Homo-oligomer: A and B are copies of this chain.
Amino acid sequence: MELEKLTQKIIKGIFVELEASGRHVHVSKEQAQILFGHDLTPHRPLSQPGQFLAQERVTVKGPKGEFQNVAVLGPARGKAQVEISLTDGKTLGIVPPVRLSGDVANTPGAELIGPKGRITIEEGVIAAKRHIHMTPKDAKHFGVKDKQVVKLQTFTERPVVFEDVVVRVSPDFEAYVHLDYDEANACGFQKGDLGRILP
């Protein structure tokens, strides 16, 4: 094994790479039809296998303000979800509860505006709860289980320990920590930075 590959293997055995998720939207196939007149078109793949950044963009509008040109992630889901930071919430005039993706009962709604149409979602605006994607093999290696809450130390310019990071395990995942931009900036995240799950 070459040195570079060995180094990578050792690093991946100890650390998990951090990623910062900007504000983004998930929509259903039907909603994509209304907003864009067609299904989502992949623009580039994301770190999680099968997930992609779509070519399509939307405006997200709240009571106080809006964001134009917001990323839409594919493939289409069962229902719409808008993931923003608490900072974004101030601009929109929406207080997003901190939730895991998919857990949108009793969350605020918003208006989504595309080039072909607009829809109002009654719920679905959340601040994504920080989480770690990993495979069952990774979970076994790190000694953690799906839905377990762990502490994660960041090796970043402004080091922090995030105390409430949810582990999400699926054979479809790749090992990455997902932070929002408030969290990324609070720890001084730069692309490629690593975190470590604390015992």
Asked if A159 CB lies within 8 Å of chain B CBs, one says yes
Among A87, A153, A157, the one with the most B-chain Cβ atoms within 10 Å of its Cβ is: A87
Q: Is A76 among interface residues, defined by CB-CB distance under 8 A?
A: no
For A86, the chain B residues whose CB sits under 8 A away are 185, 188
| Contact of A53 with B by CB under 8 A | no
Interface presence of A142 (CB below 8 A): no
Min Cβ gap A155→B in Å is 10
A→B interface (CB under 8 Å): 85-87, 98, 130, 151, 153, 157-164, 181-183, 185-188
Complex interface: chain B residues within 8 A of A159 (CB): 163-164
Known: A159-B164, A161-B161, A186-B187. 20 other contacts (CB 8 A): A85-B185, A86-B185, A87-B87, A87-B181, A87-B182, A151-B161, A153-B163, A158-B162, A158-B164, A160-B160, A160-B161, A160-B162, A160-B163, A161-B163, A182-B182, A182-B185, A182-B186, A183-B186, A185-B186, A186-B186
Which residues of B sit under 8 angstroms from A181, Cβ to Cβ? 87, 182
Instruction: Determine how many copies of this chain the complex contains.
Output: 2
26 contacts between A and B (CB under 8 A): A85-B185, A86-B185, A86-B188, A87-B87, A87-B181, A87-B182, A87-B185, A98-B157, A98-B158, A98-B188, A130-B158, A151-B161, A158-B164, A159-B164, A160-B160, A160-B161, A160-B162, A160-B163, A161-B161, A161-B163, A181-B182, A182-B185, A182-B186, A185-B186, A186-B186, A186-B187
Q: What's the minimum C-beta distance from A91 to chain B, rounded to whole angstroms?
A: 11
Cα–Cα, bound, A161→B158 (Å): 11
List of 7 A-B pairs having minimum Cβ-Cβ separation, nearest first:
A186-B186, A182-B185, A161-B161, A86-B185, A159-B163, A183-B186, A182-B186
